[in-house]
Amino acid sequence: QVQLVESGGGLVQAGGSLRLSCAASGRTFSSRHMGWFRQASGKEREFVAAISWNGYMTYYRDSVKGRFTISRDNAKNTVYLQMSNLKAEDTAVYYCAAYQKGYLVLSGYQQGEKYDSWGQGTQVTVSS
């Protein structure tokens, strides 16, 4: 298992930028695929981005492509979500999650049930 703690959320105006961080515990972080999800008030949790254990593969939901960048620094046990040109519809609680252990292939990455560890979330509010 891996413990995750998100940080970096806050209030930003539309068009602005924000970088979220997810700090992971343990030495097994570098072998886990990772993802970011978000949940707006009263809405279903939705996939945002995912990154393979080695950082070679990245995936994004269509609405954030070109605006968000997921990255990781395994030496620091940290995954990041750089968000730019933020929009009001990006407002949500953002969660990082660790994909099920023991899988080399990152498949079904849009499905929350594929992830077995979750952070507590960090609030991102974009004003228009």
The pLDDT tens digits of the residues spanning 111-124 come to 999 999 999 999 99
Rounded Cα distance, 109 and 112, in Å:
8
Using alpha carbons only, give the angle 32, 34, 35 rounded to the nearest 5 degrees: 160
Encoded tokens for 112:
């929350």
Q: Kindly give, in sequence order, each residue whose CB lies less than 8 Å from that of residue 64, ignoring residues fewer than 6 positions away.
A: 48, 49, 83, 90
pLDDT beneath 70, residues of the chain: none
pLDDT tens figures, 37-59: 999 999 999 999 999 999 999 99
Q: Which candidate, 72, 38, 78, 46, places its Cα nearest to that of 58? A: 72
Q: Integer distance in angstroms from the first to the last C-alpha of the chain?
A: 39
pLDDT at 29: 85
Rounded Cα distance, 90 and 86, in Å:
7
Alpha helices in the chain (DSSP H): none
